[in-house]
Structure 1
C-alpha cells in the first residue's frame, strides 16, 4: 500500500472574512478551524502524515492552533495558493516523497472520513481525484446587472477538496505550471494531461469564507456531536472541605495561592469532587465515595482529576457525551475571579469538551455559616449528560 500524506494549505490571510486574524486560526466550537481540519486527517487510518503550509508571519498562531498534535514544522507559503501548494510538494519531495498526496484547504474543517477514503480509493485507477458536489441550483449568466441567460447545469459539479494525486505526477505538473494562474490543483493536473476522477462529497464539506459560514459550521458540529444522544440526564453534586494549615488550595484542578489548604483524604479539590458526583448522579451510578472509598489508602493525597476522569470515562463507556457543566464555589476567600479562566480551561481539558460548555462561578454566604466564618469551602455542581436514547 502506498504511503499517503495530507497537505493542508493554510497560507491565506482571510481578508474576505474581515477578522483580526486569518479565519483558519479562529475558534470553531472551542478549537481553531485549522486544528479541526488537521485532526480530520490525523485520525484517518489511511493517512500516514499531515504537513501544513502557512503564511509567513503566522508561526505563533500556527503553533498555538496545533499544539500537542506532533506535526512536523510548517512549510512557508508563497504569493498565491498555487505557489503555496508547490512549496508544500517540494518540501514533501525533499523529506522523502510519498506515493499519494491529498491537498486540502484548511478552511474546510468538516470534511468527513468517507470523502477522504473515497478520494484515496479513486487514485487506484486514476492519477488524480477531487471531492465535488453536483450543482443543484439554476445557474444564470449576468449581463451587467440583469440576467443574460440561463446556463445548462447538466454535468456541472462544484470542485471541493481534498484533491488527491499520485505524488510524482502532481509534483511534475505543478513545476510545469509555475507562474500560471490556475484555479485549483485539479486544473494544474488537467493542464498536464492527467485524468482526474470526480468523487461525490457532502454539502457539509464547505469552505469557511464568511462569518455566516463559521456559524453554520458551529451548528453542524453541534448536530454531529449529539446525534442519536436523545436521553438527556442532569446530575447534581455538593461537597465541603474544611481549612487546614497550608499555602494553597486546589479548586477546579488549579492551585490557588492561599493562607491555608483544604483538608481531605485526596487533594481535597472540593469543586472537582462536586462535579464528579454530578456526573455520577446523571449516570445513576453511585457517588464518589462508592468509586473511591476514603478508607482506601491508595487515594490518600490523590489528584482529584483522577476521579473526574473516571466519571468521564464512564460516560464514554455508555456511548454518551457531557453536554455542559456548571460549578459554583462557595467561600469568602480566596477570590475565585482571577483564576476563573484557568479553571474553565482545566475543566474543559479534563472533560474533553469546549470551554463554552463549562461554567465556573463563585459566591459567598454573606459571612453566614461555616464558609462565612472562613472555616472551609463548599462547592455545588450541575452536569448535563446525553446518552443514546
Structure 2
C-alpha cells in the first residue's frame, strides 16, 4: 500500500514592522514588488504548491486592514491570526492555532521571502518527515572571520562548517509544538525555529537552500527583488528612409510642424517625410511591416491624413508588446527650407506624438552639396534610426 502524503500546513510569519527597510508607513511585507505586494507573492508560492494543504498567515494586529486589502481568497488559506511582540511568540501563536488542523508537518516561513520555490518546499517536507526537522541553508563561501568588539580580527573560522539559515524551516508538528511550549517559559532568546528545535534536542537536518530565496530586509533587497522579476529585454534598432517631391504650395509639414516654404511636399497624406521615416524605422525595429502595410495609400481614409497618427500607431503597438522607445534619430536631407531654426520645435512635437522625453529625440539636417534631386531642390529625403527595448520572446 502506498503511504499517504503527509498533511502539511504552513505558517507565514508576517507580524513584523520591517524597521530596517526604512518604510515607516508601510511594513516591508506589504510593499509593492513588481505590481504585487511582497506578502501576496509569498502566500501564493505556498498556496500553489500541491504538497501544501493549509496556509496560515500570522499578522500584526495593527496591519489588519492592510492584510484585508490584499484581497486574498483561496480554499487553502486559513483566516489570519495575530502575532505577538516578537517572532517566537508569533510562531507559537500560529502553532497553537493549527491544533484543529492537526498537520503532520508544519513549515514556518518568513513573509519577506517571496521567491521560495516549489522544489525547496518539497525537499523541506520530505526531510522533516524523515528526520523530524529540516533547515534550508546556504554554505558560507567567503572567508569567515570572528572579530572582537573593537572590530579587530580575532579568528578565522572554518567556512565549510558554517551555513546561512533560510526558511521555510520544516518540522514534525507535534515535536516543534512541544519545543515551543518549553521555550515559552525558558530564559533564552531564539532567532529562529531551528534554534528552538536544537535547544529542545530535536534532530534538524540541513537541506540545500537557494540563493534566490533571499529575505527582503533593506531597500537594496527590494531593488534586487524587482530586478529578479523584471522581464528580460533585448535592444533592437530599426532604420527608415523616405522621399517626397515638391509641388505647388506655400508650406511643408516636417516633423509634425508647419514650415513656410515656396512649395509643399507631394503625397497621399500630409507628406510629412520626417514622421513617415520615423514610423517606418519603428515598425522595422519591431519587425512589424511598414507604413504602407498599416496605412495603404490606396485607401481614401488616409488621404491628407495627419502623419502624427501613423507614428502614434507604431508607438502604441510597441507599448502593447511591453516595449520601450529608447531613442529616435531623424536626419532631413534638403537644400531648402532651412531646417536648423525648426529642429527644437520638431523634437518637441515628435516627443509629444511618441510619448517620450524630448531628450530621447534627435533631429538634424544635411544637404547633398547640390547633387541629385535634393540638390536641385526637387524634394526632401529623410533617414532615421530608432532604438527600442522589447521583451525577449525566443
Please, what TM-score do these two structures have when normalized by structure 1? Answer: 0.59
Compared CA separation, residues 102 and 66, structure 1 to 2 (3 A) = farther
Partner residue in 2 for 1:183: 191
Name the residue aligned to 1:148: 154
Kindly state the Cα deviation for residue 99 of structure 1 after the two structures are TM-superposed: 1.1
**Pairing of 1:268-287 with structure 2 (within 5 A):** none
Q: Tell me what 1:30 maps to.
A: 35
Distance 2:103 2:235 in 1: 46
Q: Separation in 1 of the partners of 2:236 and 2:38?
A: 28
Write out aligned runs for 1:361-380 (5 A). none
Distance 1:283 1:69, change over 3 A: farther
Structure 1 residues not aligned, in runs of 5+: 235-281, 285-320, 327-360, 362-382
In 1, are the aligned partners of 2:129 and 2:172 still within 8 Å (CA)?
Answer: no
TM (norm. structure 2) is 0.58
1:83 to 77, 80, 89: 89
Secondary structure of the structure 2 residue equivalent to 1:58: helix
C-alpha RMSD over aligned residues: 3.0
Which residue pairs with 1:162 in the alignment?
Answer: 168
What secondary structure sits across from 1:110 in the alignment?
coil
Matched, 1:109 2:136: no
Structure 2 CA distance for partners of 1:163 and 1:322, relative to 1, 3 Å? farther
Distance in 1 (CA, whole Å) between partners of 2:106 and 2:236 is 42
The structure-2 alpha-carbon separation of the partners of 1:58 and 1:202, relative to structure 1 and needing over 3 Å to count, comes to same
Counterpart residue number, 2:309 = none
Cα distance in 1, alignment partners of residues 87 and 200 from structure 2: 18
Whether the aligned pair in 1 keeps the contact of 2:179 and 2:197 (CA below 8 Å) is: yes
Change (3 A) 1:26 1:179: farther
Structure-2 change in CA distance of 1:152 and 1:57 (3 Å): same
The structure that has the greater radius of gyration is: 2
Partner residue of 2:9 out of 5, 8, 20: 5
For structure 2, the residue ranges without an aligned partner over 5 or more in a row are 239-285, 289-319, 326-354, 356-387
Structure 1 residues 148-189: Cα deviation after superposition (integer angstroms, max 9, x where no partner)? 222222211111100001111111111111044112111111
Task: Specify the alignment match of 1:218 in structure 2.
Answer: 226
The structure 1 segments of at least 4 consecutive aligned residues displaced by more than 6 Å after TM superposition are: 229-234
| 1:124 corresponding residue in structure 2 | 129
Give deviations 1:49-107, integer Å, cap 9, x for gaps: 2110001110011112243445322110011100000000100113x211111100001
The within-5 A match list for 1:26-105 is: 26-69=31-74, 71-94=77-100, 96-105=101-110
Q: Which residue of 1 aligns with 2:251?
A: none
- Is the alpha carbon distance of 1:146 and 1:99 closer, same or farther for their aligned partners in structure 2, counting shifts above 3 Å? same
Residue 159 of structure 2 aligns to a residue in which SS?
coil
Shift of 1:215: 0.3
> How far, CA to CA, are the matches of 1:141 and 1:154 in structure 2?
15
Q: Where does residue 323 of structure 1 map in the other structure?
A: 322
**Mapped partners of 1:208, 1:32: distance in 2:** 12
1:158 to 1:74, Cα distance in 2 relative to 1, 3 A = same
1:18 to partner: Cα distance: 1.2
**Residues 324 and 39 of structure 1, relative CA distance in 2, 3 Å threshold:** farther
- Number of positions where the alignment pairs a residue of Structure 1 with one of Structure 2: 251
Distance change >3 Å, CA 88–CA 322, structure 1 → 2: farther
1:248-269 CA distance string (max 9 Å, x none): xxxxxxxxxxxxxxxxxxxxxx
8 Å contact kept, 1:233–1:283? no
Separation of aligned partners in 2, 1:283 and 1:39:
37
